[in-house]
Amino acid sequence: MSEPLLRFAPSPNGRLHLGHAYSALLNDRVARDLGGRWLLRMEDIDPVRATAANIRGVLDDLDWLGLRWPEPVRFQSEHMEEYGAAADRLRGAARLHPCSCSRGDGAGAVAAREATGEVWPRDPDGSPLYPGTCRAAPAGPVSGLIAAGERCQWRLDMDAASRVAGPLGWTRFGLDGREEAVAARPERWGDAVLVRKDVPTSYHLSVVADDARQGISHVVRGRDLEAATDLHALLAALLGLAPPRYHHHALLLDADGLKLAKSRDSRSLRAMRDAGETAGAIRLRLGFT
Ligand code: GLU
């Protein structure tokens, strides 16, 4: 087997917090335990939030924690053509459909059905499944957008894609080296957006394309992404890519039992550092020497 290769892949949409530090340090430790390396990948596809200042902040925080990684860092924003080509392949195989629904449209359609007493399914993140509005009406408003050459989002036709791919699974690995086959259930997700309106990709499409392109053998990431692995296994199968093995680590929770997230005012590493905490103390607190 070739050298184990891992990656730490933050979205530089804000400053890193303790949860990111844990994930990065764990990647570093697992890579060493496996006798491999880890790469740093900036998932900077969001044109508004992934600012140069945030990217500099992430690099600075990781460096401060004492982590080192091989250069060059892969910046997803520099590879939009590759993701566009992957989307074109899926489009060519009729696995994507255009959609002009805003979040509000989707929520409205679901609310209307629920008002009649229908119980509408949720995806594992708790959002209502896409109600299929544009898929059911390809000649509707979305066709006007396309005819006018305007951008729209493109969703994976989950029923068609799951049927073509057949039963799927992914491999979970434990830190004790044990591996386990897990059945994938991508249908839990409904028609996921693979191409956003503002950029020619999405988190799901670029993460799968990049893990394969970079030859990642082992993914270590938070348990909040475990359910999305269903979708990642499906995408890898549709694109004919070799999937990595996955380890989803427990999430650090804040005092209220909520996941630490940039959006919820959890203290950033930068703020802790400014308050006088040392990188060594943070490493120890997270269980790393
Ligand atoms: N970029 C994602 C995040 O910061 C993580 C992607 C992954 O590890 O698959 O949440």
Least confident of 34-48, 54-68, 241-255: 241-255
CB distance 201 to 235 below 8 Å: no
* Cα–Cα distance for residue pair 162/233, rounded to 1 Å: 11
**First vs last Cα of the chain: how many Å apart?**
29
Does residue 97 register a pLDDT over 90? yes
Q: What are the structural domain ranges in the chain?
A: 1-78+253-289, 79-215+225-248
Residue corresponding to tokens 């550092």: 273
**Residues composing the chain:** 289
* Cα–Cα distance for residue pair 134/162, rounded to 1 Å: 19
Instruction: Give the mean pLDDT of 3-13.
Output: 97
**Cα-based distances in Å from 134 to 13, 72, 171, 207:** 30, 41, 34, 26
Does residue 263 register a pLDDT over 50? no
Protein residue with its CA nearest to atom 6 in ligand 1: 9
Higher pLDDT, 187 or 9: 9
For 192-203, write each residue's pLDDT tens digit.
Answer: 999 999 999 999
For ligand 1, the distance from its centroid to the CA atom of residue 157, given in whole angstroms, is 23
Does residue 101 register a pLDDT over 70? yes
CATH number for the domain running over 79-215+225-248: 3.40.50.620
Does residue 264 register a pLDDT over 60? no
1-78+253-289 and 79-215+225-248: identical CATH topology: yes
Band (pLDDT 50/70/90 cuts) for residue 109 is confident
Pocket test for ligand 1, best of 125, 219, 221, 235 (most atoms within 8 A of CB): 221
CB distance 238 to 165 below 8 Å: yes
User: Which atom of ligand 1 is closest in space to residue 13's alpha carbon?
Assistant: 4
Whole-number pLDDT of residue 71: 97
Whole-number pLDDT of residue 35: 97
Instruction: Give the mean pLDDT of 97-120.
Output: 88
Whole-number pLDDT of residue 261: 61
Q: Following DSSP, what letter does each residue of 23-48 receive, concatenated?
A: HHHHHHHHHHHTT-EEEEEE----TT
Whole-number pLDDT of residue 278: 97
How much is the mean pLDDT over the chain? Answer: 93
* Cα–Cα distance for residue pair 287/163, rounded to 1 Å: 44
For 205-246, write each residue's pLDDT tens digit.
Answer: 999 999 999 999 999 999 999 999 999 999 999 999 999 999
Pocket test for ligand 1, best of 17, 74, 203 (most atoms within 8 A of CB): 203
How open is the CA angle 75-79-83, to the nearest 5 degrees?
Answer: 125
Higher pLDDT, 125 or 81: 81
Helices first, then strands: H and E counts in the chain? 11, 10
Instruction: Give the mean pLDDT of 163-176.
Output: 95
Least confident of 26-35, 54-63, 120-129, 278-287: 120-129
Task: Supply φ then ψ for residue 249, to 5 degrees.
Answer: -85, 160
Pocket test for ligand 1, best of 15, 216, 225 (most atoms within 8 A of CB): 225
What top-level class would CATH report for the domain 1-78+253-289?
alpha beta
Least confident of 56-65, 144-153, 231-240, 252-261: 252-261
Whole-number pLDDT of residue 266: 61
Higher pLDDT, 163 or 30: 30
